[in-house]
Amino acid sequence: MRALVIAGCAVALAAACQRDEGRELPHGMPQGIAVAPVSDTAGGVLPGIHSQVAYGALHNPYTGNVQAERDGRQLFLSYNCVGCHGGRAGGGMGPSLRDSAWIYGNSDADLFATITEGRPNGMPTWGGKIPEDQIWKLISYIRTLRTSGEPDPPPPATQPNR
Amino acid sequence: MLAAACSKEKAAPAVVATGRAPATATGTTFPQPGAGNPGEWTTAGRDYAGTRYSPLDQITTANVANLKVAWTFSTGVLNGHEGQPLVVGNTMYVTTPWPNITYALDLADAHAPAKWALAPPTVSAAKGEACCDVVNRGSAYGDGKIVWNMLDGNTIAADAKTGKQLWKTKLADIDKGETITMAPLIVKNKVFVGVSGAEMGVRGWIAALDLGDGHVVWKAYNTGSDKDVLIGSDFKPFYAFMRGTDLGIKSWPPDQWKIGGATVWGWITYDPETNLIFYGTGNPGAWNPDLRPGDNLWSMTIFARNPETGAAKWAYQMTPHDMWDYDGVNESIVADIDIDGKPRKVLLHAERNGFAYVIDRTNGQVINAEPYVFTNWATGIDLQSGRPKYVPDKMTRQGVIIRNICPSSTGGKDQQPTSWSPRTKLWYIPATNDCMDYEGTAVSYIAGTPYLGADVRMYAGPGGNRGELVAWDPAQGKKVWGVKENFPLWSGTLVTAGDVLFYGTMDGWVKAVDARNGNPLWSFKTGSGVIGNPISYIGPDGKQYIAIYTGVGGWMGAIASANLSPDDPTAALGATGAAPDLKRYTAPGGMLFVFGL
């Protein structure tokens, strides 16, 4: 199974090289991006069922990469993550990513699985829609939240003078 | 009672619907909600007019201090409880937020056991398409059926006596970001339902279903061609800027109207005399106004339509080219009032944009429109053109943070409904006093995900109180008195013939004040914040009761119900900034509270 996933990653990374992550996406879902074939042998692609099997040993190749963290912030805006998880990931339609609670786990593999496969309470399945290297950059950004290295931190909670 | 109701008594100065609807071809008659038994509450706003005025007067300003909890019921749901229960005969109907279970509670038994409960199968994925908590705003009763909407896009009809599901119609597609949260309105043999999802790039619509079998009789979009919008030869907008052909296409950049929002998630009212239904449409998508130059018709618009055909009679767009997310979905109460010594047939509409509109419901002319909260994006409404007098400094755009815009996106008032008393001639508005910083941002349309394009941060408006109960004189267009509240007022109001006004607060208080002057008379602290709407009814024991949901949530309350992070004032589309302290005051928990003397 892992061999399949890794092979898929390679395809996805190659495809991703043709994209400029900072660029605004055209209307409609990005097309032509390959993804890990989590398929019949793993029992289907229903959200949240197979993550341990498929993703258990994956690690973020961008760990500690500051540019990846900044890119991840831009991707967090471009893929509309911001609409559900909040302007600075404090939550809204979806849960906060700034707190210490992780419904589906917070290992690299858990986060990768959550984004790729989706989760049953509303998280879409992004596998096939976001290239895998970009998923890792999103995870890199999420790791910076509430740290001094957070790109674009929340604005201060002060109010204007009147 | 029925005999009296059948006579053609002209609604005095007031609004409570009278008379009966004509018999249909099959010979079935459809009583008008609120016209028959004053002790019942059979539709969201109590009557077709949406007055939320109860003619009951056992509870008065003199005895309301003795009000006590009579009984309670836990819904078992921890999300925000907007909306209200219904009372038909000796049964109370409670519809929960997702998973949208309806309970029929037996009021004749002190234990209020459930006669039945119906939990139609649903999908949890629907929760990921609801912009502002997985709320439901209630059910409607007609011809022996209880009808309600499911977040997952289905409308359900059940036998009111047995709970047997009679029909189910799929109207909305969650894969496109469409959900349904509003309370249907039943008029005669039709059920009116509208879509939610203007934050997801949907194309807004309203549909009429046949009450008998649920088939779609007509469907009107709120953007696109005149044909799709059901604009024909009967359509006569009062103001010139809304006259033309296919303005639902021409007032947008190419194809943007296809993902242009203009949803129908608020309340629908009906006037038997003009035979028109009234509803408002939501914000245009995306929130970044630079993506959609033009007036963006028919977003932010009150429509008057023929209920049988859906044909539009008139429309009035309150906020052309919205730049602040001031959805126009708020309720339009049908009222007859004297203005300048003349009786006028009006709508009362307290808009998110901060203005309280009094509109001639026969033709869509604005009679007066004055700000009911601190408002600085416009200096007024031009009654000649019908358009707002925009303040250039407060116009938002991409890449620039425009600061201190009032009111905030959550509005001078959101969906929480107002009430109108024909006794006091006052209109009771549950208001929010917030302002905001707003920046348009780049955004991609990805079906089924939020289509926003704005970075927003809200905070308390002038004075620091984030809410206010406003008593408004619609004839004069001015505030008569107000009661300041710490948090935004996110519950509806109820006014009674005992001149008692009821409402709830997000920190969990249910309150009663004197409807004539706002003097506090009674209060009770519940366990969770109140965003539901109070109702009043007569129990089988002949006594008057007040019922209200508690259970914090909704857009403003999501910080407490969904445990958002208060250190991000841009969370929940910017609402977190306006109530970062709410979690200290309340916790989730859906309950029905019933109070009696």
CA atoms of B330 and B455, how far apart (whole Å): 24
- CB-based contact (8 Å) between A99 and chain B? yes
Chain A: residue whose CA lies nearest to B125: A122
DSSP output for B400-463 = -EEEEESS-TT-SS-SSPPEEETTTTEEEEEEE-EEEEEEE------TTS----EEEEEEE-TT
Instruction: Please list every residue in chain B whose beta carbon sits closer than 8 Å to the beta carbon of residue A95.
Output: 562-563
Instruction: Please list every residue in chain A whose beta carbon sits closer than 8 Å to the beta carbon of residue B568.
Output: 86-91, 96, 98, 154
CA atoms of B382 and B495, how far apart (whole Å): 32
Q: Which helix (H) or strand (E) holds B481?
A: strand B478-485
Q: Prior bond to B97 cis, omega within 30?
A: no
Q: Strands B388-390 and B312-317, how do they pair?
A: unpaired
Report phi then psi at B431, rounded to 5: -110, 160
Q: Prior bond to B298 cis, omega within 30?
A: yes
Whether residue B571 and residue A92 make contact (CB cut-off 8 A), yes or no, is yes
Per-residue DSSP letter, B1: -
Instruction: Give the ipTM of the model, two decimals please.
Output: 0.90
Number of other residues whose CB lies within 10 A of the CB of residue B68: 9
- CB-based contact (8 Å) between A122 and chain B? yes
- CB-based contact (8 Å) between A96 and chain B? yes
Is position B133 annotated as part of the catalytic site?
A: no
Written in H, E and C, the secondary structure of chain A is CHHHHHHHHHHHHHHHCCCCCCCCCCCCCCCCCCCCCCCHHHCCCCCCCCHHHHHCCCCCCCCCCHHHHHHHHHHHHHCCHHHHHCCCCCCCCCCCCCCCCCCCCCCHHHHHHHHHHCCCCCCCCCCCCCCHHHHHHHHHHHHHCCCCCCCCCCCCCCCCCC
Interface of B with A in 184-203 (CB under 8 A): 199
pLDDT tens digits along B148-186: 999 999 999 999 999 999 999 999 999 999 999 999 999
Is position B283 annotated as part of the catalytic site?
A: yes
CA atoms of B138 and B149, how far apart (whole Å): 8
Helix (H, G, I), strand (E, B) or coil at B312: strand
CB nearest B443 (choices: A80, A129, A162): A80
Q: Choose, from B283, B296, B330, B533, the residue flagged as catalytic.
A: B283
Q: What's this model's pTM, rounded to 2 decimal places? A: 0.90
User: Residue B342, CB half-sphere, CA atoms under 13 Å: how many?
Assistant: 6
pLDDT tens digits along B439-495: 999 999 999 999 999 999 999 999 999 999 999 999 999 999 999 999 999 999 999
CA atoms of B184 and B385, how far apart (whole Å): 33
The per-residue pLDDT string of chain B (597 residues; one tens digit each, 9 = 90 and over) reads: 333 333 333 333 332 333 333 333 344 456 667 656 899 999 999 999 999 999 999 999 999 999 999 999 999 999 999 999 999 999 999 999 999 999 999 999 999 999 999 999 999 999 999 999 999 999 999 999 999 999 999 999 999 999 999 999 999 999 999 999 999 999 999 999 999 999 999 999 999 999 999 999 999 999 999 999 999 999 999 999 999 999 999 999 999 999 999 999 999 999 999 999 999 999 999 999 999 999 999 999 999 999 999 999 999 999 999 999 999 999 999 999 999 999 999 999 999 999 999 999 999 999 999 999 999 999 999 999 999 999 999 999 999 999 999 999 999 999 999 999 999 999 999 999 999 999 999 999 999 999 999 999 999 999 999 999 999 999 999 999 999 999 999 999 999 999 999 999 999 999 999 999 999 999 999 999 999 999 999 999 999 999 999 999 999 999 999 999 999 999 999 999 999 999 999 999 999 999 999
Q: Which two tokens stand for residue B56?
A: 């009951």
CA atoms of B473 and B481, how far apart (whole Å): 10
Instruction: Please list every residue in chain B whose beta carbon sits closer than 8 Å to the beta carbon of residue A162.
Output: 404, 462
Q: Which two tokens stand for residue B594?
A: 């019933």
Q: In what order do the strands lie in the sheet with B454-460?
A: B401-405, B434-440, B454-460
Contact (Cβ atoms closer than 8 angstroms) between residue A10 and residue A59:
no
User: Residue A37, CB half-sphere, CA atoms under 13 Å: how many?
Assistant: 9
Report CA torsion sign: B580, B581, B582, B583. positive
- What distances in angstroms separate CA A56 from CA A6, A12, A59, A136, B574, one per listed residue? 12, 19, 9, 15, 36
CB neighbour burial string for A143-161, b if at least 16 within 10 angstroms, e if fewer: bbbbeeebbeebbeeebee
Q: Which two tokens stand for residue B534?
A: 């109070």
pLDDT tens digits along B496-539: 999 999 999 999 999 999 999 999 999 999 999 999 999 999 99
B21-B23-B26-B32 Cα dihedral, nearest 10 degrees? 20
- CB-based contact (8 Å) between A62 and chain B? no
Q: Which helix (H) or strand (E) holds B584?
A: helix B582-585
